[in-house]
Amino acid sequence: MSKKYEKLAQDILKKVGGSENVSTLTHCMTRLRFALIDNHKADPNALKSFDGVIDAIESGGQFQVVIGTHVEDVYKEVIKHLESDTNLSEEPTATRKVSILGKLIDFVSGTFSPIVPGC
């Protein structure tokens, strides 16, 4: 595996409060989806400033870092630096209950996120 995204992954992990602040991590097509122990430890403005990060938002109880189409490569690098007790999954967790309002907010925030062209 290429080390192309290693620095970005380390920077992201640092700005979400470190590996000790990560409860679970998943990803979707364009986003890293963190469940953080303390969302106040995350620094979305610093995350947004990184080359390779499109946006950082808190939505539906998750802290999401919008990466783009290369999210899986960044995810693989992030998990290398997480503590072993962090719950990792490439599939979103199905056990989290979200209210109808929460689903609406997730939909709207996803709709207005920047469109990432394929490389």
pLDDT tens-place string over residues 51-80: 999 999 998 888 999 999 999 999 999 998
CB 87 within 8 A of CB 24: yes
Question: Going from the N-terminus, what domains does the chain have, and what CATH number goes with each?
Answer: 6-111 (3.30.1360.60)
Q: Which amino acid is at 50?
A: F
Q: Is 119 a catalytic residue?
A: no
Position 8 scores a pLDDT of 95
Position 59 scores a pLDDT of 84
Average pLDDT over residues 18-41: 92
Which one of the listed residues 28, 46, 79, 82 is annotated catalytic? 28
Higher pLDDT residue, 97 or 12? 12
pLDDT tier at 4, thresholds 50, 70, 90: confident
pLDDT tier at 117, thresholds 50, 70, 90: very low
Average pLDDT, the chain: 78
CB 53 within 8 A of CB 67: yes
- Beta bridge partners of residue 27, listed in sequence order: 32
Give the three-state DSSP class for 112. Answer: coil
